[in-house]
Amino acid sequence: MAAVLKPAVAQRPADASGRLRGFASTAREIDDSDLHVEGRLPDWLRGRLLLNGPALWSLPQGGYEHWFDGLAMFHRIEIGPGRVRYRSRFARSEDYTRSMAAGRPAFGAFDTRNPMGFFRRMLHLKNPPITDNPAVVMSHIGDRWVANTETPHLTSFDPDTLATMGRLRFDDGVQMQLMSAHGRTDERGDYWNVGIHLGPKCTYKLIRMRAGTRRREVIGSLEVRRAGYTHAFAMTPSHAVIWETALRAMPLSFLFTGRAYIRNFRWEPASGSRLHAISLDDGSVRSWDIAPMLGFHAIQAWNDGQDIVLEMPVFDDARVLEDLRLDALRQGQGPCVPRLLRYRMKPGRQTAEAEVFGSALELPQVHPQRDGRARASVTWGAGTDATRPALFDRTVRLDLESGEWREWCRGDAVQLEPLFVPRPGGTAEDDGVLLVPTLADGDTATQLGVIDARSMQCLALLQAPQVVPFGFHAAWAA
Ligand SMILES: [Fe+2]
């Protein structure tokens, strides 16, 4: 029998309606509630879907105004034999604890100003307090699960109970103020990520933390005048690939003003963008010029002979970050639409070749056994109408070789990142299902679509016991 815990905060009226209730601060902590299953789940599908994301934007004395900024909640949908259960817990980060006690944001966030006064900030200049709100990505380091945002803090959590286990204390002296949200775990369980140290020049640092350790080794680094906004990076078997966006960090602003995180970057198209490939063998770096761009996620990168190829959704300016503010989203306005670009980095060339091969797909992913290891021929993502700004309203399978585009569309629904779960023992790249959180205008709660990843037919819909606030990324714990 489902046991519903008291909400961590008083429940507030929804500040959005219909499918846009995913932007409301109404989610509660729920303890193992059964999901209603409509349709038929594959017999082999057993495991835990983990979701994290912003869930609480409104606090009694203030709040957050950007989608990315809400205080994080973990969700677990456990698919077992004959039973599917849901559980949710707020992440007890330092930010959550202090913000809940204060009744207003206690830390600066993506588009939330740092509430600390000037003199307190100067006191902490060498080691400034920055948010640890783990609302964006979940990863594992060996068997330890962590979650994080775009800062270097990694928050450990239990994938069963969703209890927060505290922040990882690193056993090293590596200096960085920013870190890509998307750490990557290799086949050995080692964790890789890219951090940025701000100074008179900015330094990108490719770090690896071996499973079972808390020591970040710097595998390679490069100095640039001003680093670009960095949400993720890509890997091939031989290189890490960083895209230096034209949304460039202003280090003095980061260090000396209380501006919101993203207000410390400036769109500088005149200085273009660059791609950097760091060798995993010796840390050496090669770079290529590209047109000014902003991008969050790679679809994939791979080695094609001596060339390195990177495929990703790309925005031509930084408007998308304004588009993702809550006032616009709650009115039903959608973000601008990315184009899909394929960059080819050739040895000895100064400029990478760029080819447009599609549009209107974000939150992409490929088969986990291909990602960073071998070229994938299929990607899945959250899609929109390519002709107008819109929030994700379809789930897409895109054949990267033929360009064939298949969709699953519920109608009148927001459809978030599709997580691909491969069928155990399957050999085909698309042998598996997609797990897709959706919310339609007429739904009473979130519906998780279970979609055949090849045919894009819906196999089952699982109804959660509440509206799961819209987040970004998911993970699968078998
Ligand atoms: Fe992301």
pLDDT tens column, 358-407: 999 999 999 999 999 999 999 999 999 988 888 999 999 999 999 999 99
Question: How many angstroms is it from 204 CA to the middle of ligand 1?
Answer: 19
Question: How many angstroms is it from 154 CA to the middle of ligand 1?
Answer: 15
Question: How many angstroms is it from 361 CA to the middle of ligand 1?
Answer: 13
Backbone φ, ψ for residue 127 (5° rounding): -140, 70
| pLDDT, tens only, 7-59 | 344 344 446 789 999 999 999 999 999 999 999 999 999 999 999 999 999 99
Question: How many angstroms is it from 68 CA to the middle of ligand 1?
Answer: 10
Question: How many angstroms is it from 321 CA to the middle of ligand 1?
Answer: 13
| pLDDT, tens only, 97-143 | 999 999 999 999 999 999 988 888 887 777 788 999 999 999 999 99
Question: How many angstroms is it from 67 CA to the middle of ligand 1?
Answer: 13
The one-letter code for the residue type at 462 is L
Model's pTM, two decimal places?
Answer: 0.95
Average pLDDT, the chain: 94
Question: How many angstroms is it from 2 CA to the middle of ligand 1?
Answer: 32
**Strands 234-235, 239-244: pairing kind:** antiparallel
Joined together, the tokens standing for residue 74 give 């973990």
Question: How many angstroms is it from 438 CA to the middle of ligand 1?
Answer: 18
What pLDDT sits at residue 129?
86
Indicate the pLDDT class of residue 192, thresholds 50, 70 and 90: very high
Question: How many angstroms is it from 122 CA to the middle of ligand 1?
Answer: 31
Question: How many angstroms is it from 465 CA to the middle of ligand 1?
Answer: 26
| pLDDT, tens only, 262-303 | 999 999 999 999 999 999 999 999 999 999 999 999 999 999
Question: How many angstroms is it from 23 CA to the middle of ligand 1?
Answer: 17
Average pLDDT rounded to a whole number, residues 409-438: 97
| pLDDT, tens only, 215-239 | 999 999 999 999 999 999 999 999 9
The domain 3-477: what is its CATH number?
2.130.10.10
